[in-house]
Amino acid sequence: MGKKTKKDEMNEEIKVEKETSNEVEDEIKEEEKEPSAEEKLKAELENQKDLYLRLRAEYDNYRKRTQNEKLSIYDDATAHAVSQILPIADSITMALSSLGDDVPKEFLKGIELIAQQLKTSFEKLSITEFGEVGDEFNPEIHNAVSTIEDENFKENTVCAVYQKGFMLKDKVVRHAMVQVANV
């Protein structure tokens, strides 16, 4: 039995290959086994963390959205209230411009005081007045009620203001009624 034949050598190689194959199969079977309890808990923890982070982000978005809606509602209510007061402001302005010299000074001073108080209240509410002669016509904030051919003004320039416009921050409360030069 001293010499091995080629057949014996081949049989040995086949045995080694089978053993190696069996070892690989055993390793694959071990990997396919169910994860351990620790691995299950880690996976569940990661899942819960993900759900928590998503819920937290969703709540943060909800909080920001409702805060913006509250501010918008406040601005809309302020704009509505101011639009109801604007006819009074117009009347005071017309009264000041139409008073003659024969009006008692106390009466004139009272109307000027009321006009100043109204202006101060508008400033506190972030209401700004616009619409001056010489402004460039902007259809988003001006309401052109007429046009005129006048060489003293550039094209699309406000040449007369019939009614001032008012804005709350960047929202138009009332458009300015103007006459536009169209050379």
Q: What is the pLDDT of residues 103-141, one digit of tens each?
A: 888 888 999 999 999 999 999 999 999 999 989 999 999
Q: What is the DSSP letter of 136?
A: B
Cα(100)–Cα(108) distance, rounded to whole angstroms? 10
Q: Which residues contact 130 (CB under 8 A, 6 or more apart)?
A: 141, 164, 165, 166, 167, 176
Q: Are 132 and 158 in contact (CB under 8 A)?
A: yes
What is this structure's pTM? Answer: 0.63
Which residue in this structure is represented by tokens 């001006």?
142
pLDDT at 17: 67
Amino acid type, 101: D
pLDDT at 150: 82
Chain-wide mean pLDDT for the chain? Answer: 86
Q: Are 148 and 159 in contact (CB under 8 A)?
A: yes
Q: How many CA atoms lie within 13 A of 62 on its CB side?
A: 6
Q: Is 3 helix (H, G, I), strand (E, B) or coil?
A: coil
164, pLDDT greater than 90? yes
Instruction: Report phi then psi at 146, rounded to 5.
Output: -160, 165
pLDDT at 27: 65
pLDDT at 180: 93
CATH 3.40.50 fits 40-125, yes or no: no
Predicted confidence band at 175 (pLDDT cuts at 50, 70, 90)?
A: very high
174, pLDDT greater than 50? yes
Element (H, E) at 178: strand 176-181
Q: Which CATH code of 2.40.50.140, 2.30.22.10, 3.40.190.10, 1.20.1600.10 fits the domain covering 128-183?
A: 2.30.22.10
Ranges of each domain in the chain:
40-125, 128-183
